[in-house]
Amino acid sequence: MTENNSHDSTDDEVATDGGIAGQPGQAHRNTDYLSAEVNLLNPSTTFMRDHLRIVWTGFAIWVLAVWGPVTMTYLATDAMTTQMPVLGFPLHYFLVAFGAPTSALILSFWYSRKRDALDEKYGIDHTTVEETGRSGGATAADGGVDE
């Protein structure tokens, strides 16, 4: 297996938890979120704004997929409770029993693709220590004291 590491210079690599961040990603990591006010409706970084746009879009689609058939059954009871000619199930039952889980799978795939594109846009790389060939040995969990 060959290694394809785009960061050949060790000067601009930063020891992280396994990922390598580009400049926008590193600026995001340098933000002190414990002392800053976090507002989900007005995020502090462009990465958070873009990520929340993806999350809220997915949430809106999920609400429509799950609650749309229920609401339509309430509003148009006759149309939604008629038997489907092929399967013999009521339309509202089919949409809730098949449509909601299927839409959840599709949304999961959609989110992973959008998040990967977002990570690529901001230079966030999720390679592990084993994949990059950098190894610092085991980390002591007691503050770095070897016994």
pLDDT at position 14: 47
Residue 30 has pLDDT above 70, yes or no: no
* C-alpha span between 102 and 106 (Å, rounded): 6
Write the Ramachandran bin of 32: left for phi over 0, alpha for psi from -120 to 50, otherwise beta: beta
Q: Are 108 and 9 in contact (CB under 8 A)?
A: no
Q: Check whether 16 has a pLDDT greater than 80.
A: no
pTM score of the predicted model: 0.60
Q: Do you know the residue count of the chain? A: 147
Confidence of residue 28 (pLDDT cuts 50, 70, 90): low
pLDDT digits (tens, 9 = 90+) for 33-75: 566 666 778 877 788 889 999 999 999 999 999 999 999 999 9
pLDDT digits (tens, 9 = 90+) for 91-131: 888 888 998 999 999 999 999 999 999 999 988 887 765 65
At 3, the pLDDT band (50, 70, 90 cuts) reads: very low
Over 70: is that where the pLDDT of 140 sits? no
Res. 84: pLDDT tops 80: yes
Q: Which of 2-16, 72-86, 122-136 comes out lowest in average pLDDT?
A: 2-16
114 by DSSP, 3-state: which? helix
